[in-house]
Amino acid sequence: MGKVAIITGAGSGLGQSTALRLAEEGVNISVVDVNEKGGQETVELVKKQGVDAIFIKADVSKQEEVKNYVDKTVEHFGTIDYFFNNAGISGSGKYFLDTSIEEIDKIVGINLMGALYGIHYVADVMVKNGGGSIVNTASSAGVIGQDSVVTYAATKHGIVGITKSMVAEYAKDGLRVNAIAPGPTETPMVKEFYAANPKMKENATSGIPQKRLGTPEEVAELVTFLLTSKAEYINGEVIRIDGGFTNTK
Protein backbone atom coordinates (compact mmCIF):
# COMPACT_ATOMS: atom_id res chain seq x y z
CA MET A 1 0.00 0.00 0.00
CA GLY A 2 1.21 3.52 -0.80
CA LYS A 3 1.85 6.36 1.60
CA VAL A 4 -1.06 8.06 3.35
CA ALA A 5 -1.72 11.79 3.66
CA ILE A 6 -4.30 13.80 5.58
CA ILE A 7 -5.16 17.12 3.98
CA THR A 8 -7.40 19.60 5.76
CA GLY A 9 -9.27 22.16 3.71
CA ALA A 10 -9.03 19.65 0.87
CA GLY A 11 -12.38 20.51 -0.69
CA SER A 12 -10.96 23.38 -2.74
CA GLY A 13 -7.96 25.60 -3.37
CA LEU A 14 -4.53 24.61 -2.07
CA GLY A 15 -5.87 21.49 -0.36
CA GLN A 16 -7.56 20.10 -3.43
CA SER A 17 -4.63 20.89 -5.72
CA THR A 18 -2.21 19.22 -3.30
CA ALA A 19 -4.44 16.15 -3.03
CA LEU A 20 -4.33 15.75 -6.80
CA ARG A 21 -0.58 16.32 -6.94
CA LEU A 22 0.10 13.79 -4.18
CA ALA A 23 -2.17 11.29 -5.90
CA GLU A 24 0.15 11.51 -8.91
CA GLU A 25 2.88 10.24 -6.56
CA GLY A 26 0.72 7.26 -5.54
CA VAL A 27 -0.26 8.72 -2.16
CA ASN A 28 -3.62 7.76 -0.66
CA ILE A 29 -5.58 10.72 0.65
CA SER A 30 -7.77 11.40 3.64
CA VAL A 31 -9.78 14.41 2.47
CA VAL A 32 -10.90 16.61 5.37
CA ASP A 33 -13.18 19.61 4.95
CA VAL A 34 -16.28 21.19 6.47
CA ASN A 35 -17.67 21.42 2.91
CA GLU A 36 -19.02 17.98 2.06
CA LYS A 37 -19.69 18.76 -1.62
CA GLY A 38 -16.15 20.01 -2.22
CA GLY A 39 -14.65 17.19 -0.21
CA GLN A 40 -16.50 14.50 -2.12
CA GLU A 41 -15.46 16.14 -5.39
CA THR A 42 -11.81 15.89 -4.32
CA VAL A 43 -12.25 12.22 -3.40
CA GLU A 44 -13.65 11.46 -6.86
CA LEU A 45 -10.85 13.34 -8.62
CA VAL A 46 -8.20 11.58 -6.53
CA LYS A 47 -9.66 8.12 -7.09
CA LYS A 48 -9.53 8.67 -10.84
CA GLN A 49 -5.76 8.70 -10.45
CA GLY A 50 -5.78 5.15 -9.12
CA VAL A 51 -5.25 5.71 -5.41
CA ASP A 52 -7.60 5.36 -2.46
CA ALA A 53 -9.32 8.33 -0.84
CA ILE A 54 -11.92 8.92 1.84
CA PHE A 55 -13.82 12.01 2.90
CA ILE A 56 -14.19 13.01 6.53
CA LYS A 57 -16.31 16.03 7.38
CA ALA A 58 -14.80 18.15 10.13
CA ASP A 59 -14.88 21.61 11.63
CA VAL A 60 -11.23 21.88 12.64
CA SER A 61 -12.01 24.40 15.38
CA LYS A 62 -13.65 21.54 17.31
CA GLN A 63 -11.15 19.29 19.05
CA GLU A 64 -13.36 16.21 18.98
CA GLU A 65 -13.86 16.50 15.22
CA VAL A 66 -10.11 16.78 14.69
CA LYS A 67 -9.52 13.67 16.78
CA ASN A 68 -12.20 11.93 14.75
CA TYR A 69 -10.57 12.64 11.38
CA VAL A 70 -7.26 11.32 12.69
CA ASP A 71 -8.88 8.20 14.17
CA LYS A 72 -10.89 7.53 10.99
CA THR A 73 -7.78 7.87 8.84
CA VAL A 74 -5.82 5.38 10.94
CA GLU A 75 -8.82 3.05 11.01
CA HIS A 76 -9.11 3.07 7.21
CA PHE A 77 -5.48 3.27 6.08
CA GLY A 78 -3.59 1.98 9.13
CA THR A 79 -1.15 4.88 9.38
CA ILE A 80 -0.41 8.53 8.57
CA ASP A 81 2.77 9.45 6.68
CA TYR A 82 2.04 13.00 5.58
CA PHE A 83 -0.11 15.84 6.94
CA PHE A 84 -0.94 19.03 5.07
CA ASN A 85 -2.31 21.16 7.92
CA ASN A 86 -4.01 23.62 5.64
CA ALA A 87 -7.58 24.54 6.64
CA GLY A 88 -8.09 28.25 7.24
CA ILE A 89 -10.19 31.34 6.68
CA SER A 90 -9.19 34.91 5.91
CA GLY A 91 -11.85 36.99 7.65
CA SER A 92 -13.70 40.08 6.44
CA GLY A 93 -10.75 42.38 5.72
CA LYS A 94 -11.94 44.99 8.19
CA TYR A 95 -9.46 46.98 10.22
CA PHE A 96 -8.88 45.40 13.61
CA LEU A 97 -10.87 47.85 15.73
CA ASP A 98 -13.84 47.36 13.41
CA THR A 99 -13.64 43.59 13.64
CA SER A 100 -16.13 41.87 15.92
CA ILE A 101 -15.00 39.65 18.77
CA GLU A 102 -17.05 36.86 17.18
CA GLU A 103 -15.00 37.10 13.99
CA ILE A 104 -11.74 37.16 15.96
CA ASP A 105 -12.78 34.02 17.84
CA LYS A 106 -13.77 32.26 14.61
CA ILE A 107 -10.50 33.03 12.81
CA VAL A 108 -8.38 31.98 15.81
CA GLY A 109 -10.49 28.86 16.31
CA ILE A 110 -10.04 27.62 12.76
CA ASN A 111 -6.60 28.90 11.80
CA LEU A 112 -4.67 28.51 15.03
CA MET A 113 -6.52 26.13 17.33
CA GLY A 114 -7.44 23.90 14.39
CA ALA A 115 -3.79 23.68 13.40
CA LEU A 116 -2.71 22.94 16.98
CA TYR A 117 -5.34 20.24 17.41
CA GLY A 118 -4.33 18.67 14.11
CA ILE A 119 -0.64 18.54 14.96
CA HIS A 120 -1.38 17.26 18.44
CA TYR A 121 -3.25 14.20 17.22
CA VAL A 122 -1.39 13.56 13.96
CA ALA A 123 2.11 13.94 15.41
CA ASP A 124 1.21 11.53 18.19
CA VAL A 125 0.51 8.85 15.57
CA MET A 126 3.61 9.73 13.57
CA VAL A 127 6.02 9.69 16.51
CA LYS A 128 4.68 6.32 17.68
CA ASN A 129 5.22 5.00 14.13
CA GLY A 130 8.79 6.30 13.86
CA GLY A 131 8.19 9.62 12.14
CA GLY A 132 6.35 11.49 9.43
CA SER A 133 6.20 14.78 7.59
CA ILE A 134 3.95 17.78 8.23
CA VAL A 135 3.49 20.96 6.21
CA ASN A 136 1.59 23.82 7.82
CA THR A 137 -0.01 26.61 5.82
CA ALA A 138 1.24 29.96 7.06
CA SER A 139 1.02 33.03 4.80
CA SER A 140 2.87 36.12 3.66
CA ALA A 141 0.91 37.64 6.57
CA GLY A 142 2.81 35.24 8.82
CA VAL A 143 6.21 36.68 7.97
CA ILE A 144 5.47 40.40 7.57
CA GLY A 145 2.90 42.85 8.94
CA GLN A 146 -0.10 43.61 6.72
CA ASP A 147 -3.10 45.82 7.26
CA SER A 148 -6.73 44.61 7.27
CA VAL A 149 -5.72 41.12 8.44
CA VAL A 150 -4.53 41.60 12.03
CA THR A 151 -6.23 38.51 13.48
CA TYR A 152 -5.39 36.41 10.44
CA ALA A 153 -1.77 37.56 10.65
CA ALA A 154 -1.65 36.70 14.35
CA THR A 155 -2.75 33.13 13.59
CA LYS A 156 -0.27 32.76 10.74
CA HIS A 157 2.61 34.08 12.84
CA GLY A 158 1.47 31.44 15.32
CA ILE A 159 1.79 28.77 12.63
CA VAL A 160 5.42 29.78 12.15
CA GLY A 161 6.03 29.37 15.88
CA ILE A 162 4.33 25.96 15.93
CA THR A 163 6.46 24.81 13.01
CA LYS A 164 9.81 25.76 14.50
CA SER A 165 9.01 24.62 18.03
CA MET A 166 7.70 21.19 17.00
CA VAL A 167 11.01 20.56 15.25
CA ALA A 168 12.92 21.56 18.38
CA GLU A 169 10.97 18.96 20.34
CA TYR A 170 10.38 16.09 17.92
CA ALA A 171 12.92 16.06 15.07
CA LYS A 172 14.85 13.48 17.08
CA ASP A 173 11.79 11.21 16.82
CA GLY A 174 11.71 11.30 13.03
CA LEU A 175 9.25 14.16 12.66
CA ARG A 176 9.71 16.79 9.96
CA VAL A 177 7.62 19.96 10.21
CA ASN A 178 7.82 22.75 7.66
CA ALA A 179 5.54 25.59 6.65
CA ILE A 180 4.69 27.38 3.45
CA ALA A 181 4.02 31.11 3.32
CA PRO A 182 1.99 31.75 0.18
CA GLY A 183 1.37 35.24 -1.04
CA PRO A 184 -1.90 36.12 -2.75
CA THR A 185 -2.97 33.00 -4.63
CA GLU A 186 -5.90 32.28 -6.95
CA THR A 187 -7.91 30.16 -4.50
CA PRO A 188 -11.67 30.41 -3.85
CA MET A 189 -10.96 31.90 -0.41
CA VAL A 190 -8.72 34.63 -1.82
CA LYS A 191 -11.08 35.35 -4.72
CA GLU A 192 -13.96 35.79 -2.26
CA PHE A 193 -11.82 38.07 -0.07
CA TYR A 194 -10.79 40.24 -3.00
CA ALA A 195 -14.35 40.38 -4.34
CA ALA A 196 -15.33 41.99 -1.05
CA ASN A 197 -12.17 44.13 -0.97
CA PRO A 198 -11.28 44.94 -4.62
CA LYS A 199 -8.85 47.70 -3.69
CA MET A 200 -6.75 45.18 -1.79
CA LYS A 201 -6.38 42.96 -4.86
CA GLU A 202 -5.17 45.92 -6.89
CA ASN A 203 -2.68 46.83 -4.15
CA ALA A 204 -1.49 43.24 -3.75
CA THR A 205 -0.96 42.59 -7.46
CA SER A 206 0.90 45.85 -7.97
CA GLY A 207 3.13 44.97 -5.00
CA ILE A 208 4.15 41.57 -6.38
CA PRO A 209 7.33 41.82 -8.49
CA GLN A 210 6.01 39.13 -10.86
CA LYS A 211 2.80 41.18 -11.27
CA ARG A 212 0.41 38.25 -10.88
CA LEU A 213 -1.15 36.07 -8.22
CA GLY A 214 0.17 32.60 -7.60
CA THR A 215 -1.72 29.44 -8.59
CA PRO A 216 -2.82 26.56 -6.36
CA GLU A 217 -0.87 24.19 -8.59
CA GLU A 218 2.38 26.05 -7.93
CA VAL A 219 1.80 25.81 -4.20
CA ALA A 220 0.86 22.12 -4.46
CA GLU A 221 4.20 21.41 -6.12
CA LEU A 222 6.06 22.94 -3.18
CA VAL A 223 3.95 21.15 -0.58
CA THR A 224 4.46 17.81 -2.31
CA PHE A 225 8.22 18.33 -2.36
CA LEU A 226 8.31 19.26 1.33
CA LEU A 227 6.12 16.36 2.42
CA THR A 228 7.94 13.61 0.59
CA SER A 229 11.31 11.98 1.09
CA LYS A 230 12.80 14.26 -1.58
CA ALA A 231 13.10 16.87 1.19
CA GLU A 232 14.34 14.67 4.03
CA TYR A 233 16.86 17.17 5.42
CA ILE A 234 14.61 20.22 5.27
CA ASN A 235 13.14 20.75 8.72
CA GLY A 236 11.66 23.71 10.58
CA GLU A 237 11.67 25.96 7.52
CA VAL A 238 9.08 28.52 6.48
CA ILE A 239 9.28 28.74 2.71
CA ARG A 240 7.79 31.76 0.97
CA ILE A 241 6.00 31.24 -2.34
CA ASP A 242 4.81 34.70 -3.24
CA GLY A 243 6.42 35.95 -6.44
CA GLY A 244 8.80 38.10 -4.41
CA PHE A 245 5.97 39.90 -2.56
CA THR A 246 7.47 39.77 0.93
CA ASN A 247 11.01 40.18 -0.37
CA THR A 248 10.22 43.82 -1.16
CA LYS A 249 8.79 44.63 2.26
pTM: 0.94
pLDDT of residue 50: 97
Per the residue annotation, which of 69, 82, 117, 152 is the catalytic one? 152
> Which CATH number goes with the domain that contains 181?
3.40.50.720
Buried/exposed 125-158: b ≥16 CB within 10 Å, e otherwise: bbbeeebbbbbbbbbbbbbbebebbbbbbbbbbb
Single out the residue of 241, 9, 17, 234 nearest to residue 140, CA to CA. 241
Active site residue 152: yes
pLDDT in tens, the chain (249 residues): 799 999 999 999 999 999 999 999 999 999 999 999 999 999 999 999 999 999 999 999 999 999 999 999 999 999 999 999 999 999 998 999 999 999 999 999 999 999 999 999 999 999 999 999 999 999 999 999 988 999 999 999 999 999 999 999 999 999 999 999 999 888 877 777 777 777 766 767 778 888 888 999 999 999 999 999 899 999 999 999 999 989 876
Single out the residue of 85, 75, 60 nearest to residue 5, CA to CA. 85
Domain that holds residue 29: 4-248
- How many independent structural domains does the chain possess? 1
- 82: which strand partners? 5, 133
